[in-house]
Amino acid sequence: MFEGLFQPMHLLIILVIALLVFGPKKLGDLGKGLGEGIRSFKQAMREDTAASGNKASDQGSKQG
């Protein structure tokens, strides 16, 4: 059903339409905001993984 939906030419057309709708400045701001959001999410995931690792190592040392 969705075969070939995201071919490079389709993505290029979507990008051009977005550029026409939002304009170059607004599109740049949207990209910047999206990048910052992804970066923040990755940082939170790393911190959560590190905290989980510390809890596991603390529990393992208490049991042994």
pLDDT (tens digit, 9 = 90+) per residue, 6-54? 788 888 898 899 889 988 888 889 889 999 999 999 999 999 888 887 7
Q: What is the dihedral of CA 18, 21, 23, 26, to 10 degrees?
A: -80
Q: Is the pTM of this model over 0.75?
A: no
